[in-house]
Chain A
C-alpha cells in the first residue's frame, strides 16, 4: 500500500515537473549557453585546481597526470617566500581596508551635505572617473608622478628635502599601494552609501529635529544607523577578501620590482612568478588553492558573525 502511495506521489511529481518544464521551457532554453559557460569557464578551472595534488606536465591533462598528495603543500608551507607574500597580502589588504573604508563613508557623508546640486553632481562625476581608468594607465601615472624627476619629488626638492626613490624603497610601497587604491575607489564606493542615504525617510530627520537634535547629531543618530546594513554588507565582503590577492595582482605586478619584494610581493604575484614564469604549475596552484580556501573560510566567519550581531548577511 505504502508502495502504491509512493508511486502515486512520484508520478504526480513527474507530472508536475513535466508541466513545469513545458510551461517554462523557453526560460530553461535561455539558460543553456550561460550554464555551459559556467561549467567550462568557472567550474572546470575549479576542478583544475586538482593539479595541486596531481603533478601537471606541460601539455598533459589539465587535471594533472600523477597523484602526489600533499607534496606541494608541504613544500610551500616551508617556503619563506610564500609566507612573506602571505604577510604582505594581509598587511596591504588590512591597511587598505582600514584607510579606505572610513574614508569612503566620510566622503559619502560629506557629499550628502553638499547643497548646490550642480556642484554635487560635478564632484560625484569627477570622483567616479578613476574607477573607469585601466590599471595600466593608473600605474603609468603613478610611475610618472613618483619618479625621481616627477612632480612629487620636484615639490620635495622645492621645499628643501632630498629626493626619494619611492618605487625602489620597500617602506614606501604600502603607502603607494594604499593611496592609489584610495584615489581609485573611494569616489566609486560612495555610490551605495549615497543610495542608501537617499532612501532614508525624511520624517526621521524631522522627528530628530523636533527632539532638538542639531545637524551633526542627526547625522549620527539617523543617517548612520539607517545605512548600517549597507555598511555591514560591504564590510563582510571586504573581510572575505582579506587574504585575497587576485584583485591586487595587476597593480602590484605593474608596480613592483625585486628591491621591494619585501613589502610588495603578494600571493598572486608570487603564484605568477612561480607558476607561469617559473613553470611550476602544480606548486603555484597549491598556493592559489590555499589562498582561495582561506578566503572562503574568512568570508563565512564574517558572514556568520554579521548574521548573529546585526541580522544582515550575504546568505
Chain B
C-alpha cells in the first residue's frame, strides 16, 4: 500500500549530517514544487491581465490591469461549444473504455481459462508492435470510413493494453475464496464478476476512470486527424489557437488570438483535472503499484 511508506525506520540516531540533509532535502522539494507550479501560476496571471498590458508586453506573475473580461469573453464564445463536446466525448469514451477493458481484463485474470495462453501474448504483443501512424490512419479513413464521426475519436484509443494489464493484476489480487463463495451461492461466472468482483474493485475502477477520462479529455490528435470543426474537442481547439490562425494567402484577414485569451482557455481546460486528480490519488497510486511491479 502506498501509505505504508511511513514504515521507513525513524528510530535511528540523528547525527548532524542527517539534519543538514533534511534541511537541504526540504529546500530541494520546495524548489521542485515551485518549478512545477510556476507555469500554472503564470498562466492564471496572464488570463487576468488586460489586453492592453499584453500588447505592451507586460506579463508577469502578478496580473497587470486585473480584470475578468477575458473570462467573460471566452465563456461567451465558441469555446463553450468545444468544451461541451469534450465533456460528451469524455463521458461516452470513459464508459465504453471501462466496460470493455474490464470485460477483457477479468477473463485474462483467470488462470484456469485455457485460452489465456494464447490470449495474453495476443494482447501484450500490441504493446510492443503495431500499425504505423499511416496504416492506422488509412484504416480509419478508408477502411472503416469513420472520418467525421465521433467514433473515429473514441475507438482508436478505447482499450489501452497497459491499463488492461493494470486491471488484470488487480483482479488477480482479489481473494479466490470470495469468488468461490459466490459461485456456491449460485451466482454464474458473470454474476460473480458483477456482484462480487466489481464491488471489490472500486480502487482500480476509480483509477481507470481517472486515467481514461484524462486521456479523452486531453486528446487532440485523433480530432486533428478525423473530426470536422463542429466536432472538435476543446483540446484541439486550444491547439489551433495556440498554434495560431495560420493565415494563408487566402486568409489574409485572419487575426491572431491574444495571449490572455489563450491563457484563459488553457486555465479553464485544465481546471477540472486539477480539481479531480488529487481526490483519488490514493487509488491510482495503489493501482499503478499493482500493475507496474508484478506483470
Residue numbers of A with Cβ under 8 A of B are: 20, 24, 26-31, 33-35, 37-38, 40-46, 48-49, 51, 56, 58-60, 62, 107, 110-115, 117, 119-120, 122-130, 132-137, 139-141, 143-145, 149, 151, 154, 183, 187, 191-192, 194-199, 202, 205-206, 209, 214-215, 229-230, 233, 240, 246, 249-250, 254, 268, 271-272, 275-276, 281, 284-285, 288-289, 291-293, 295-296, 299, 314-315
The minimal Cβ–Cβ distance linking B280 to chain A, given in whole angstroms, is 11
From known contacts A44-B131, A49-B131, A272-B133, infer whether A30 and B190 are also in contact, taking CB-CB under 8 Å: yes
Contact A49 B132 (CB under 8 A): yes
Residue numbers of B with Cβ under 8 A of A are: 1-2, 4-10, 12, 15, 18, 21-22, 25-26, 28-29, 32-33, 35-37, 39-40, 42-43, 46, 57, 59-61, 100-101, 103-104, 106-107, 110, 112-115, 119, 122-124, 126, 128-139, 142-144, 155-156, 158-159, 188-190, 193, 214, 217-221, 225, 235-236, 238-239, 242-243, 259, 262-263, 266, 269-270, 273-274, 277-278, 281, 285, 288-289, 292-293, 295
Determine the chain A residues whose CB is within 8 A of the CB of B18 once the complex forms: 215
Contact A196 B104 (CB under 8 A): no
The minimal Cβ–Cβ distance linking A210 to chain B, given in whole angstroms, is 11
Determine the chain B residues whose CB is within 8 A of the CB of A281 once the complex forms: 134, 138
Chain B residue nearest to A50 in the complex (CB) = B135
From known contacts A31-B104, A271-B133, infer whether A45 and B139 are also in contact, taking CB-CB under 8 Å: yes
- Count A/B pairs, Cβ under 8 Å: 286
Contact A107 B266 (CB under 8 A): no
- A-B residue pairs in contact (CB < 8 Å), sample of 25: A28-B107, A30-B104, A34-B100, A41-B158, A44-B131, A45-B132, A49-B131, A51-B134, A113-B21, A114-B26, A127-B36, A129-B36, A133-B270, A134-B269, A145-B42, A191-B285, A191-B288, A194-B2, A195-B285, A195-B289, A202-B9, A209-B9, A240-B128, A275-B134, A292-B130
Q: Which residue, of B18, B29, B295, has the highest number of chain A Cβ atoms within 10 A? A: B29
Determine the chain A residues whose CB is within 8 A of the CB of B119 once the complex forms: 31, 35
Contact A115 B10 (CB under 8 A): yes
The minimal Cβ–Cβ distance linking A142 to chain B, given in whole angstroms, is 8
From known contacts A134-B269, A140-B242, infer whether A26 and B190 are also in contact, taking CB-CB under 8 Å: yes
Chain B residue nearest to A303 in the complex (CB) = B128
Contact B242 A117 (CB under 8 A): no
**Once the chains are docked, how many angstroms separate the CA of A178 from the CA of B104?**
36
Chain B residue nearest to A137 in the complex (CB) = B266
Contact A34 B104 (CB under 8 A): yes
Contact A288 B25 (CB under 8 A): no
Determine the chain A residues whose CB is within 8 A of the CB of B136 once the complex forms: 45, 48
Contact B263 A144 (CB under 8 A): yes
Chain B residue nearest to A29 in the complex (CB) = B190
